[in-house]
């Protein structure tokens, strides 16, 4: 026998080959089966929420873990958290309606518009339905102190079909930052800066979930309407999470400093959670997501904002991929910087269907 065959180094290529096979098999097994990696505490629907509108179209699960919201030709539906929270982590596993869903909007958001009508704060995740054969799209938005004149929308597609299984969608809001998550992938972070002033959300908010008819704008700018031949449209929410500082209604209109003092322990606890900061691995996953699936970015919408909002950091290379309308240029989805990529969560990293801006 060749002496080199008795050397341990001879086995290294084979070890690498089998390790590669194991990695591919593991990645394939995890795709389409999202694990709940954020390690959140859940609350039964009846313990943390109440009916908002829609009568029987708001139907709690028999096991108490969640609720179905239906849209039919008569009404949509919605629920709201029983308390308002000064900062928090708001999360739910959501399954969206399938088939023809043009004009349908499913929203998961925080707001205090019922209390602070002219100076309200809001954090949005809104899912936008589509015609048959086209993907659901969704957008995130941030409003502070009534700044509805300055929308901070970002729009995306997903790397999975959100109608086939439940996936976790989350909003983190702390005194220092806001993070939106899909499963355990951070997709957007906004950090508080002095320049933002009062446009960073600062007042107690409730958590809402709704389904409604937005035929006038949701799909292709209103070109495609809700077709009630396909009704009822059903969105399901389960394993809901509310972590934050419930605020006594008597102090809702207190100063920011007084609210911060009353909720200091809860804020410290919230900011100690792993999901309150984006790790290096999470930032790589976020960058990968935004390169592949974001198709509208308000910071690059120079028609709407000739001077970008103060929180925008303009990346010239990334900016070149977008039109002046803020929309992604056709064929730009998969262009990347010529540099070595960074690892991301396995079930996410390998799924690359591109952005659909239709």
CA pair distance 83, 39, nearest whole angstrom: 22
Q: Is 126 a catalytic residue?
A: yes
DSSP state of 133: T
Nearest to 40 by CA among 266, 263, 276: 276
H-run or E-run covering 89: strand 85-95
User: Which of 31, 117, 126, 199 is the catalytic position?
Assistant: 126
Backbone Cα Rg of the chain? 22
Q: Known catalytic residue: 31?
A: no
d(CA 246, CA 339): 46
**Could you give the CA distance from residue 18 to residue 12 in angstroms, rounded to a whole number?**
10
Of residues 45, 67, 33, the one with CA closest to residue 242: 45
3-class DSSP assignment, residue 345: coil
Q: Which of 122, 154, 199, 318 is catalytic?
A: 122
SS3 94: strand
- Residues annotated as catalytic (active site), given as ranges: 122, 126
């Amino acid at each position: 026998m060749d002496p080199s065959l008795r050397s341990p180094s001879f086995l290294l290529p084979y070890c690498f080959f089998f390790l590669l096979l194991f990695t591919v098999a593991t990645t394939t097994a995890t795709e389409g089966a999202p694990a709940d990696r954020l390690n959140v505490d859940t609350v039964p629907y009846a313990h943390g929420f109440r009916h908002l509108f829609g009568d029987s179209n708001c139907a709690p699960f028999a096991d108490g873990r969640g609720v179905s919201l239906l849209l039919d030709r008569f009404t949509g539906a919605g629920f709201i958290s029983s308390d308002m929270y000064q900062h928090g982590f708001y999360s739910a596993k959501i399954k969206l309606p399938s088939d023809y869903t043009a004009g349908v909007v499913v929203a998961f958001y925080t707001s205090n518009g019922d209390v602070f009508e002219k100076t309200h704060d809001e954090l949005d995740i809104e899912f936008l339905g589509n015609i048959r054969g086209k993907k659901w799209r969704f957008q995130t938005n941030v409003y502070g102190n009534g700044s509805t004149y300055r929308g901070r929308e970002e729009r995306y597609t997903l790397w999975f079909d959100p109608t086939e299984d439940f996936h976790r969608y989350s909003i983190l809001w702390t005194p220092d930052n806001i993070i939106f998550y899909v499963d355990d992938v951070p997709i957007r972070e906004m950090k508080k800066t002095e320049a933002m002033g009062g446009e960073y959300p600062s007042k107690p908010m409730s958590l809402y979930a709704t389904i409604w008819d937005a035929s006038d704008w949701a799909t292709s700018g209103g070109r495609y309407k809700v077709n009630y031949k396909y009704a009822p449209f059903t969105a399901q929410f389960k394993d809901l999470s509310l972590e934050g500082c419930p605020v006594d209604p008597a102090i809702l209109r207190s100063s920011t400093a007084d609210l911060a003092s009353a909720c200091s322990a809860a804020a410290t606890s919230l900011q100690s959670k792993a999901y309150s900061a984006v790790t290096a691995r999470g930032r790589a996953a976020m960058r990968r997501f935004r390169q592949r699936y974001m198709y509208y970015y308000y910071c690059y919408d120079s028609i709407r904002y000739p001077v970008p909002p103060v929180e925008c950091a303009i990346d010239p290379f990334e900016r070149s991929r977008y039109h002046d309308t803020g929309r992604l240029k056709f064929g730009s989805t998969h262009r990347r910087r010529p540099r070595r990529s960074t690892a991301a969560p396995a079930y996410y990293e390998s799924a690359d269907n591109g952005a659909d801006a239709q």
